Amino acid sequence: MSNKQRVLVIGNGMVGHKFLEAMVNSPQYSAFEVTTFCEESRIAYDRVHLSEFFCGRSADDLSLVEPGYYEQHGIRVLLGDKAVSIDRSAKTVTSEKGEVLSYDKLVLATGSFPFVPPIPGHDRDNCFVYRTIDDLEDMQAAAKNSKVGAVIGGGLLGLEAAKALVDLGLETHVIEFAPRLMAVQIDDGGGAMLRQKIEDLGVKVHLGMNTQNIGDGDERFHKMSFADGSEIETDMLLFSAGIRPQDALARDCKLELGERGGIVVNDHCQTSDPDVYAIGECAMWSGRIYGLVAPGYKMAQVACDHINAEDNAFSGADMSTKLKLMGIDVASIGDAHANTPNAKEYTYVNGTEEIYKKIVVSADNTRLLGAVLVGDAADYGTLLQMALNDIPLPEFPDALILPQRDGNGATGMGVDMLPDGAQICSCNDVTKGQLCQAVSDGATVLGDLTLATNAGTSCGGCKTLVGQVLNNELEKMGLEVNTDICEHFPHTRQELYHLVRVGEIKTFSDLLAQHGSGYGCDICKPTAASILASCWNDYVLEPEHLGLQDTNDRYLGNMQKDGTYSIVPRIAGGEITPEKLIVLGEVGKKYNLYTKVTGGQRIDLFGARLEQLPQIWKELVDAGFETGHAYGKSLRTVKSCVGSTWCRYGQNDSVALALQIEHRYKGLRSPHKIKSAVSGCTRECAEAQSKDVGIIATESGWNMYVCGNGGMRPRHADLFATDLDTETLIKYTDRFLMFYVQTADRLQRTSTWMDNMDGGVDYLREVIISDSLGIGEKLEAEMAKVIDTYQCEWKTTIDDEEKVLMFRPFINSNKADSNVVFVEERGQIRPARKDEKELVSA
Amino acid sequence: MKDPTKNVQEDNVTTDQNWISICALEDLPCNAGVAALLHADTPRETQIALFRTSANDAVYAISNFDPFSEANVLSRGILCSIGEQLAVASPVLKEHFNLATGQCFEDESVSIATFPVKIADGNVLVAG
Ligand SMILES: Cc1cc2nc3c(=O)[nH]c(=O)nc-3n(C[C@H](O)[C@H](O)[C@H](O)COP(=O)(O)OP(=O)(O)OC[C@H]3O[C@@H](n4cnc5c(N)ncnc54)[C@H](O)[C@@H]3O)c2cc1C
Ligand code: HEM
Ligand code: SF4
Ligand code: FES
C-alpha cells in the first residue's frame, strides 16, 4: 500500500468536481491519492445550465470534465456507485456495490435532493423532479405523449422547469402555494409584474393553491384537486417545491446536523469530525445553507486548502442572483424584502413596458441594502457592486432606477469607483483587479478577457459589468481601442460598409478620396472590394476593382505556394452527374492537373498556370459548370447528406434544400468565408453543426443552427430556431447572412462575430426572428438584390477577350514561367521542391 | 536555373544597361501589377513585375521573384501605401516590398532588385 494520503470524495456534482480540480492544482497533489464516488451515471456536469438540455445542448456539452481529465490525474471514479455507509472509527466508506475504501480525509459533496411534498398521489406515474440529466430524459420521453404539463412550485427552479415544459411544446401551468412567484427572491410588486409577463407568454399561473390530492383525470392523465375545491388536469406533473440537503450518510454516522438538516461545518468546512469535510449544498455554515454554485465553489477551495494545510476560510457568500426566466430578466440583490430595521424603499413601476424596479436603502439614505429588478436587469451589476462594496449613494438614490430619458448619461456610478477587490464575476470569483491586470496584459477585447480570466463564462450575469471594466481600463490607459481597419481609413469594416451604402459609393478611389488617405493597402483594398461586391455586386474584374482584389479574387482561382492556381467548380450540395464527373476527369487529364476531393464535397484541380485558367474554364463552362467561388471570401459549399430520397433514416430532402441554399447565396461576398450544410435527420451525416449555417431535418420541419465552424478553433453551432418551414428558414437565413455581411469585422467568422455581440445568440434571435431593430425587411431586400445580380464571374471573363488577355503570363511574352516545375508522386503531379528543381535545371 | 534576383544584381555591376521596350503605357492597368519578361530565352532571362500607380502616375519595376515563397508572384500582389512609401504585398505570405528600393518591410535583411523605368513616346522602357 502506498504511503499517500487517501482523500475520498462522496458526490461528483458541481462542487465535488470543483474540489477535485482544486486538489489537482494544489502544489502537493502528488502526495494524495484521490477517489470519488459518483452516484449518477455521468461524471460531473453543469447543473446550472441544465435547462439548455432542452434547447439542444447534449449531455456531453454540459459536462464539466475534459475527456480524460480524471484518468490523466490518477483520480479513481466509482461511476454509478453510491456510498451507503461511513464508519468513522475505522475510517472507511462502503459502497452500494460492496467496495470498502479507507480514507485519511473524507469530503462530503452530496448536494441536495428535490423535496416532494407528501400529497396523496405524488408517486403516480408521470410525476417528475428537476435535478439531473436523467430526470430531464425521463421528462422528454413522457412529453412525447403529453399535451399539458404542470409544475408544483413557482420558485426560481419551478419557473425554469416551466420554461422546459413550454420548450417541450406543452400547455403549461405553474401552481404555487404562496401568494406570489419567486417568494424568496422578490417582493409582491416584482412578483406581480413577473406573473403578468409570464402569462403574456401563455403560461397559466395559479397562486395561493394548496394541492390536496392527485388522482386519475377525466381528459388528461392526472387530476389535481385543490383546497378551494378547484381542479386542474394535466398529463405530466413536475415537483419543484424546494430542495433538501442530502445529509443521510452524515446522519447515519452521527455527524452534527442542523435543526432542519444540513451538515454543520466550521470556517474550514470541517464537520464535527475534523477528518470529515462537507461542501456545497449539503453543508450548513453559520446556520445557513447555500443553494447556489458560487458559494459551493468557494467551499471546495477552502476544504482543499485546509487539507493542504494552507490558510483559507469560508466567510459566507452573497446570495444575489440575476437570471433570465423565459426571456424575462429577474434579479434580486441582498435584502430584497427590506428586513433591515428602518430600511427605506424606492420603487419604479412601468406598466407599459412591464418593468419593475425597487431598491432598499439604509435608514440614513446613504447605503444600498438590496434591490429587486423585473423586466429590465441592466442595472444589476452596478447595484450589486454598490451594495457589496458599501459605496455611498448619490444624493437622490431613486435616480439609480429611474430611466434616463434626457440623455444625460449615467447617474449612479461608473465602474471606476469600484475598489480593485470588488468581485465582478461571482461564479468564478474574479475581481476587478484581476480583470484590470488581464487588460493591461493585453486582453483588450471582451472575448480575450473572458478567456483570460473566466469571468462571464458561467451564468453570464456579470458580462455587462466586465465589458464596462474593460472599456474603463482602456480609456484610462489612453488606449482608445483602435478599431480602424488600417492606416488608410479611420473606420471599422462596419463603418465602411455604411459609408459605402449610404453614400452610394461605387469605387475604391471614391471611397479613399471621401473617407481615407494614402493609396490603400492589402488590408483595406480587399475589404473594400468585398463591401462593394456585397452592396452592388459588380463584376469583380472591372478595371476600377481590379487592383483591389487579393490575387485569388483577381485571377478567380486559389493561388498555391508555387504561384499556380487551383480550380474548384461549383458542385452544389455535392450532387454531380456522371457526365459532369467525366468532364472533370477529362479536363484534369488534358491539363495534367492534380485532383483531390475537398472537405466540402467538391473536386479541386491543382497546378494550373495563370495562362491556362481561361482555357480550362472555357471547357468547364461549356460543359455546364460555374465558378465555385473557392477563391473568394464568400459562400463556399452547402454540404449535404443524401437525405430522405435514398436514406432509410431520412426525414426530409436534404439535397434539394442544400441545392436551393447554395444557388441562392452563391457569390455573396462576405467578411470571411461562409459554410453551410444540410442533414436529412438527426444522425447529422453532413456535420451541419460545424457550419456557419447548419440545417437538420426534423419530423416537422428544419432546425436551424448558426455560428459554428471547423478549422483551428472548432466551435459547435448554436441551435437558433426549431421546426421551421422552408420559407421561414430561408427568410431567417437571408436576414442572418445579410446582418453578418453588414456588421462583422474584416476576417471575422460568424462565431466570433456573435461572441463579441452583447447578448450573443439571444440578441441575434431578437434581431433576426423578432425583428427587434426593425431591419428584417430591409435585410431581405438587400439580399434579394445580391441574388438578382448574380453572375458567374468565369463565364463573364471568358466571354470577354480583353479580360482573357489579363491572364497572359507576361505582358510582353507568352512563355510559361520556367520556375514552375512539377514532379510525379502517387501517379499525379506535385510542385517540385527546391532541390528537385535544381536537379531538373542542372 | 539561377536565382533571378542574383542575376540582376550582377547585371547592375556590369552596367551594360540597355533600355528594353516592354509595352505601351496604356496597356498597363492602373494600380495593379503585371509581369514582364526580359531577355527571354537567353541565360539572362529575368522576370519583373511592373506597377503603374495612378497616385503619381509613375511606373515601377521590381523583380517578380518573391524570396519568401520562392515563386514568381509579386506582379500579382496588391499595391499599398505604407506611410509615404509605395509597396507591394506578396500574394503568398503577405510580406511587403518597397517599389522604389526593393527593401522588404518585415525583414531588414531582405531586399529585391529594382529596375529603372522610363516612358518614351507612350512606351514603357525598362533598363536591364
Ligand atoms: C435546474 C437548476 C438550475 C440551477 N440554476 C442555478 C443558477 O442559475 N445559479 C446557481 O448558482 N445555482 C443554480 N442551481 C443550483 C446549483 O446547480 C447547485 O448549487 C450546485 O449544483 C450544487 O453543487 P453540489 O455539488 O453541492 O451538488 P450537486 O451538483 O447536486 O452534486 C451532488 C452529487 O452528489 C451525488 N451524491 C449524493 N449522495 C451520494 C452518495 N451517497 N454517493 C455518491 N454520490 C452521491 C449526487 O448524485 C449528485 O450527483 C441550479 C440547479 C438546478 C437543478
Ligand atoms: C445507412 C447508413 C450509412 C451509410 C451507407 C453511410 C455511407 C457513407 C459514405 C459512403 C460516406 C462517404 C465516405 C467518403 O467520404 O468517402 C459517409 C461519410 C460520412 N458519414 Fe455516413 N453512412 C451512413 C450512416 C451514417 C450515420 C448514421 C452517420 C452519423 C451518425 C454518418 C456520418 C458520416 C460522416 C460524418 C461522414 C463524413 C462526411 C465527410 O466528411 O464528407 N454516416 N457515409
Ligand atoms: S443525416 Fe440522416 S438522412 Fe442524412 S444520410 Fe445521415 S442518416 Fe440519412
Ligand atoms: S457572475 Fe456568473 S459568470 Fe460571472
Contacts of residues B113-118 at CB distance under 8 Å and 24 or more positions apart, as own/partner, are B113/B5, B113/B8, B113/B9, B113/B12, B113/B62, B113/B63, B114/B60, B114/B61, B114/B62, B114/B63, B115/B8, B115/B48, B115/B61, B115/B62, B116/B17, B116/B61, B117/B50, B117/B58, B117/B59, B117/B60, B117/B61, B118/B19
Q: Do B76 and A559 touch (CB under 8 A)?
A: yes
Tell me the average pLDDT across A289-310.
92
What is the pLDDT at residue B8? 38
What confidence tens digit (pLDDT) does each residue in A637-648 have?
Answer: 999 999 999 999
**CB distance from A624 to chain B under 8 Å?**
no
What confidence tens digit (pLDDT) does each residue in A588-625 have?
Answer: 999 999 999 998 899 999 999 999 999 999 999 999 99
Q: Do A811 and B91 touch (CB under 8 A)?
A: no
* CA–CA dist A105, A36 (Å, integer): 12
pLDDT at A152 over 90: yes
- Binned at pLDDT 50, 70 and 90, residue B61 comes out as very high
Which helix (H) or strand (E) segment holds residue A693: the answer is strand A693-698
Distance from chain centroid for Cα A730: 23
Residue of A nearest to B27 (CA): A811
pLDDT at A439 over 90: no
What is the pLDDT at residue A763? 85
The pTM of this model reads 0.53
What residues of chain A, 309 to 348, have a C-beta less than 8 Å from chain B? none
CB-count burial class (<10 Å; 0-12, 13-18, 19+) for A573: buried
Residue of B nearest to A836 (CA): B1
- Binned at pLDDT 50, 70 and 90, residue B7 comes out as very low
Q: Which is more confidently placed, A444 or A10?
A: A10
Q: Which is more confidently placed, A582 or A375?
A: A582
**Sign of the C-alpha dihedral computed for residues A805, A807, A808 and A812 taken in this order:** positive
What residues of chain A, 666 to 725, have a C-beta less than 8 Å from chain B? none
What is the pLDDT at residue A271? 97
What is the pLDDT at residue A495? 80
pLDDT at A502 over 80: no
Ligand 3, pocket-test mutation among A639, A679, A684, A695, most atoms within 8 A of CB: A679
CB-count burial class (<10 Å; 0-12, 13-18, 19+) for A590: exposed
* Least confident piece of the model among A225-234, A506-515, A660-669: A506-515
pLDDT at A133 over 90: yes
* CA–CA dist A534, A738 (Å, integer): 9
Residue among A548, A610, A810 whose CB faces B37 most closely: A810
Region of A167 on the Ramachandran plot (φ > 0 left; ψ -120 to 50 alpha; else beta): alpha
SS3 for A469? helix
pLDDT at B51 over 70: yes
Q: Let me know the angle formed at the C-alpha of A805 by A801 and A809, rounded to the nearest 5 degrees.
A: 155
What is the pLDDT at residue A479? 58
| Strand B58-63 relative to strand B46-53, pairing | antiparallel
Q: Do A812 and B50 touch (CB under 8 A)?
A: no
Residue among B65, B86, B92 whose CB faces A561 most closely: B92
The whole-chain average pLDDT of chain B stands at: 82
* CA–CA dist A762, A768 (Å, integer): 10
- Quick one: what percent of chain A has pLDDT higher than 90? 50
Q: Do B72 and A819 touch (CB under 8 A)?
A: yes
* Least confident piece of the model among A18-32, A436-450, A531-545: A531-545
Residue of A nearest to B65 (CA): A819
How far away, in angstroms, is A66 Cα from ligand 4 center? 20
What is the pLDDT at residue A19? 96
Residue A224, C-alpha cell as written in the block: 389535481
**Whose alpha carbon is nearest atom 1 of ligand 1?**
A50
- Return the residue in B80, B84, B99, B105 with the most chain A beta carbons within 10 A, the one to mutate for interface testing: B80
Ligand 3, pocket-test mutation among A639, A640, A641, most atoms within 8 A of CB: A641
pLDDT at A839 over 80: no
- A783 residue type, one letter: M
* CA–CA dist A360, A336 (Å, integer): 7
Tell me the average pLDDT across A564-583.
94
What is the pLDDT at residue B9? 37
- A434 residue type, one letter: Q
Tell me the average pLDDT across A743-753.
84
pLDDT at A770 over 70: yes
pLDDT at A49 over 90: no
What is the pLDDT at residue A842? 54
Q: Let me know the angle formed at the C-alpha of B116 by B112 and B118, rounded to the nearest 5 degrees.
A: 145
What is the pLDDT at residue A406? 43
Tell me the average pLDDT across A192-205.
89
What confidence tens digit (pLDDT) does each residue in B79-126 have?
Answer: 888 888 889 999 888 889 999 999 998 888 899 999 999 888 889 999
* CA–CA dist B111, B118 (Å, integer): 22
**CB distance from A561 to chain B under 8 Å?**
yes
Q: Which is more confidently placed, A460 or A164?
A: A164
- Quick one: what percent of chain A has pLDDT higher than 70? 96
Q: Do B71 and A562 touch (CB under 8 A)?
A: yes
What confidence tens digit (pLDDT) does each residue in A812-825 have?
Answer: 888 888 888 899 89
Q: Which is more confidently placed, A217 or A630?
A: A217
pLDDT at A713 over 90: no
pLDDT at A389 over 70: yes
Cα Rg, chain B, nearest whole Å: 14
What is the pLDDT at residue B66? 93
Q: Do B79 and A519 touch (CB under 8 A)?
A: yes
pLDDT at A34 over 90: yes
- Binned at pLDDT 50, 70 and 90, residue B1 comes out as very low
pLDDT at B15 over 60: no
Tell me the average pLDDT across A374-390.
84
Q: Which is more confidently placed, A547 or A473?
A: A473
* Least confident piece of the model among A79-93, A752-766, A782-796: A752-766
What confidence tens digit (pLDDT) does each residue in A395-436 have?
Answer: 788 888 887 554 333 334 567 777 788 888 877 888 888 999
**CB distance from B79 to chain A under 8 Å?**
yes
Tell me the average pLDDT across A221-232.
94
pLDDT at A568 over 50: yes
Tell me the average pLDDT across A359-385.
88
Q: Do A813 and B94 touch (CB under 8 A)?
A: no
Ligand 3, pocket-test mutation among A682, A685, A702, most atoms within 8 A of CB: A685
Residue of A nearest to B30 (CA): A547
What is the pLDDT at residue B12? 38
- Binned at pLDDT 50, 70 and 90, residue A480 comes out as low
CB A684 near ligand 3, within 6 Å: yes
User: Contact at 8 Å (CB) between A175 and A224?
Assistant: yes
pLDDT at A438 over 70: yes
Q: Do A551 and B76 touch (CB under 8 A)?
A: yes
